[in-house]
């Protein structure tokens, strides 16, 4: 007996035209995912209106109140009802959907917010009277006179009251407030010339300011650097490298942190396209590829990068929230990011982040076992005889002081210094002059204004590794031809995906050819890897391509071998070094790019300023 389809009723289904209220609620589900989405849309509208000051007030994580106040151009009374109509916008005329110069252009945000919440817009255009309009659950009221000096105030109350089911998917007030803060911070990075204020007014009253970024002055990079220091933190600004490069009409600028200033998760990666914050897999993959050789797999780079290009070269209309973009030529954008960042990291040379020294100083400060008050010691006032002895102690010659102290003075036994006397010139170099070696692993060097502690094994390992990479780049990767090619059966889609990157794999001597249908033939593998399970490697490469859109597995395996070779061929811990060897190592570090971190992203040296050392001993 045939089983009936439960999705098909006995009567013929009827096609109906949904009313505007239902359409707006459906659109709101795509555009307004949570309170942070509403804040994003309203703040972007304020930026498009030319605002220089934007204030955001929220209550209960934005669930009960979101108020955005700006000093932009305003909306005229006649245009207020039209602003709440779907697909009504002042941003474009509809003739060219690829030439987008503003954040908003669809005309969906305001009617969507009005469909699921209680929305009030108060606005004033210079030279006209202020007006106000209210809409709740899609029901629009009449335009009324209002009092406002300039700009626009958009107030959204009781978000999702018209769609109660959506409220069940909201997170805690703290989590929603944090999401709003992250959204505002991303927008603030892209607009250094605008003042942003985020205030939490939960419980009534004036509330408390949770984020503030005042307008920055100066040129593009000075203003951006100051804004990033305010938003991300001064540590990032101190350890970030300036990026500015152009290729084929695409400009990349911003700041990227040193490898030794890495994070445990990808939480400090900010990418913008034509000023729009985006979360794009291709761009984040390019950022990861640029740091690929300088960080271990569990560490992530920190960067704030901005891509500016002709709007016709990028499509921003591929995602309802406009958080993803699509480049006409993604290879150019990706190559620009990778090459620019690697060039900047190479120019940084041996530089390591300042946070390394701060962590070292923190480790040197002992913490009390119990939080007891610190004991205060008061020194007795010295007697006249003691003062005279102290004065004589500060003058050359101490033999005459024996009679002034009860203890006997024993002439110290001369100690032969580990390092011969150096002239003062090497001290003026970045890593200074070697003065000694402790525990047969750490070189102590004196600089003009402090000291440097070098991990001799980690530093030399990086130097050898860079030499091996240079040799491989010059001579290529030796290939090992398989006596019998290994045939790997794949689906046709996986085969096409693999063959699209076949030329890149060939550069690392992994030669793959189509073998009919979905099968591929592996004919050559990198000789340095020895015996290889070709099928397992191919499947791993496909998994990486599906997850990240690119594969660096073969390169990673080859460079892991080079890293191990460098480790075994470098100066071992426990070896005593002569003065000239230590100084030669320091000079080679200064001349070698990326020598500030080892092959795993850890620092190879720590620099301590004299002022920091004196502070440790209470001499500051």
Give the domain CATH number at 195: 3.30.565.10
pLDDT at 28: 63
* Higher-confidence position of 406 and 230: 230
Residue 242: inside a domain, yes or no? yes
For residues 303 and 235, membership in a common domain is answered with: yes
For residues 563 and 577, membership in a common domain is answered with: yes
What is the C-alpha separation between 534 and 56, in angstroms, rounded? 56
For residues 596 and 611, membership in a common domain is answered with: yes
- pLDDT band with cut points at 50, 70 and 90 for residue 342: confident
For residues 114 and 158, membership in a common domain is answered with: yes
pLDDT at 163: 78
Q: Which of 178, 211, 244 is the last residue of a domain?
A: 211
Residue 464 has pLDDT above 90, yes or no: no
The pLDDT > 90 percentage for the chain reads: 24
Indicate which CATH number applies to the domain containing 521: 3.30.1540.20
Rg (CA), the chain: 33
Strands, E assignment, 149-268: 151-157, 195-200, 208-213, 240-247, 250-257
Mean pLDDT in residue range 217-227: 92
What is the C-alpha separation between 501 and 516, in angstroms, rounded? 18
- pLDDT band with cut points at 50, 70 and 90 for residue 379: very low
Residue 34 has pLDDT above 70, yes or no: yes
The three-state DSSP-derived secondary structure of 277-313 is EECCHHHHHHHHHHCCCCCCCCCECCEEEEEECCHHH
Residue 333: inside a domain, yes or no? yes
What is the C-alpha separation between 555 and 507, in angstroms, rounded? 9
Mean pLDDT in residue range 83-105: 60
* Higher-confidence position of 279 and 128: 128
221: CB partners within 8 A, 6+ apart: 242, 244, 253
pLDDT at 225: 95
For residues 356 and 498, membership in a common domain is answered with: yes
Residue 395: inside a domain, yes or no? no
* Higher-confidence position of 41 and 571: 41
What is the C-alpha separation between 459 and 350, in angstroms, rounded? 10
* Higher-confidence position of 429 and 2: 429
Q: What is the DSSP letter of 263?
A: B
pLDDT at 166: 78
With 0.75 as the threshold, say if the pTM is over it. Answer: no
Q: What is the mean pLDDT of the chain?
A: 79
For residues 95 and 152, membership in a common domain is answered with: yes
pLDDT at 472: 75
How many separate domains does the chain show?
Answer: 3
For residues 333 and 438, membership in a common domain is answered with: no
pLDDT at 411: 44
For residues 444 and 340, membership in a common domain is answered with: no
For residues 117 and 143, membership in a common domain is answered with: yes
Residue 245 has pLDDT above 80, yes or no: yes
- pLDDT band with cut points at 50, 70 and 90 for residue 1: very low
- Highest mean pLDDT out of 63-77, 376-390, 491-505: 63-77
Segments forming the whole domain that contains residue 196 = 20-211
Residue 480 has pLDDT above 70, yes or no: yes
pLDDT at 211: 95
Residue 610: inside a domain, yes or no? yes
Q: Which of 167, 189, 211 is the last residue of a domain?
A: 211
Instruction: Find the Cα–Cα–Cα–Cα dihedral 425, 427, 433, 436, rounded to 10°.
Output: 130
pLDDT in tens, 538-554: 888 888 777 666 666 67
Residue 181 has pLDDT above 90, yes or no: yes
Token pair listed for 438: 């402790």
Mean pLDDT in residue range 270-287: 88
Residue 609: inside a domain, yes or no? yes
* Higher-confidence position of 361 and 280: 280
* Higher-confidence position of 306 and 465: 306
What is the C-alpha separation between 283 and 551, in angstroms, rounded? 14
Residue 196 has pLDDT above 50, yes or no: yes
For residues 287 and 157, membership in a common domain is answered with: no
pLDDT at 156: 94
For residues 496 and 538, membership in a common domain is answered with: yes
pLDDT at 366: 53
Residue 1: inside a domain, yes or no? no
Closest CA to 299 of 314, 288, 307: 288
For residues 230 and 175, membership in a common domain is answered with: no
Residue 301: inside a domain, yes or no? yes
């Amino acid at each position: 007996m045939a089983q009936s389809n439960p999705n098909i009723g006995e009567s013929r289904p009827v096609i109906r035209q949904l009313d505007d209220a239902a359409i707006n609620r459906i659109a709101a589900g795509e555009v307004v995912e949570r309170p942070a989405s509403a804040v994003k849309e309203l703040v972007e509208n304020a930026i498009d209106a030319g605002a220089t000051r934007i204030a955001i007030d929220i209550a209960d994580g934005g669930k009960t109140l979101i108020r955005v106040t700006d000093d932009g151009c305003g909306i005229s009374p006649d245009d207020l009802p039209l602003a709440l109509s779907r697909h009504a916008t002042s941003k474009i005329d509809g003739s060219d959907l690829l030439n987008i110069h503003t954040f908003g252009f669809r005309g969906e945000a305001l009617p969507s917010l009005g469909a699921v919440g209680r929305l009030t817009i108060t606005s004033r255009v210079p030279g006209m009277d202020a007006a106000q309009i209210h809409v709740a659950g899609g029901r629009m009221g009449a335009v009324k006179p209002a009092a406002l000096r300039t700009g626009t105030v958009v107030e959204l109350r009781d978000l999702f009251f018209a769609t109660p089911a959506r409220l069940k998917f909201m997170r805690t007030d703290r989590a929603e407030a944090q999401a709003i803060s992250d959204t505002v911070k991303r927008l603030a990075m892209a607009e250094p010339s605008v003042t942003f204020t985020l205030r939490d007014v939960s419980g009534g009253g004036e509330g408390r300011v949770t984020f503030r970024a005042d307008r920055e002055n100066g040129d593009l990079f000075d203003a951006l650097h100051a804004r990033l220091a305010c938003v991300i933190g001064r540590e990032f600004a101190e350890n970030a490298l300036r990026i500015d490069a152009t290729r084929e009409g695409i400009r990349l600028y911003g700041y990227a942190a040193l490898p030794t200033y890495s994070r445990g998760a990808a939480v400090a990666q900010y990418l913008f396209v034509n000023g729009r914050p985006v979360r794009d897999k291709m761009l984040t993959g390019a950022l990861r590829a640029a740091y690929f050789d300088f960080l271990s797999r569990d560490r992530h780079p920190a960067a704030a990068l901005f891509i500016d290009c002709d709007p016709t070269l990028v499509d921003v209309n591929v995602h309802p929230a406009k958080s993803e973009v699509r480049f006409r030529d993604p290879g150019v954008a990706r190559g620009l990011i990778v090459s620019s960042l690697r060039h900047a990291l190479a120019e940084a040379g041996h530089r390591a982040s300042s946070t390394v020294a701060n962590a070292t100083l923190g480790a040197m400060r002992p913490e009390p076992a119990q939080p007891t008050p610190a004991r205060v010691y008061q020194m007795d006032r010295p007697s006249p005889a003691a003062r005279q002895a102290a004065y004589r102690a500060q003058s050359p010659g101490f033999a005459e002081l024996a009679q002034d102290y009860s203890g006997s003075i024993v002439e110290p036994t001369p100690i032969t210094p580990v390092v011969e006397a150096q002239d003062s010139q090497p001290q003026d170099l970045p890593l200074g002059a070697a003065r000694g070696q402790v525990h047969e692993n750490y070189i102590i060097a004196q600089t003009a204004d402090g000291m440097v502690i070098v991990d001799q094994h980690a530093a030399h390992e990086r130097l050898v590794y860079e030499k091996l990479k240079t040799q491989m780049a010059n001579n290529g990767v030796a290939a090992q031809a398989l006596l019998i090619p290994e045939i790997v059966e794949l689906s046709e889609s996986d085969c096409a995906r693999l063959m699209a990157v076949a030329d890149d794999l060939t550069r690392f001597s992994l030669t793959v050819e189509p073998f009919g249908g979905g099968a591929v033939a592996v004919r050559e593998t990198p000789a340095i890897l020895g015996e290889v399970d070709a099928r397992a490697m191919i499947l791993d490469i496909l998994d990486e391509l599906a997850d990240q859109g690119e594969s660096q597995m073969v390169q990673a395996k080859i460079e892991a071998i080079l890293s191990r070779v460098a480790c075994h061929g470098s100066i071992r811990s426990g070896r005593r070094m002569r003065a000239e060897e230590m100084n030669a190592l320091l000079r080679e570090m200064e001349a070698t790019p990326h020598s500030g971190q080892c092959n795993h992203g850890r620092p190879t040296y720590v620099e301590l300023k004299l002022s920091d050392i004196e502070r440790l001993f209470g001499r500051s």
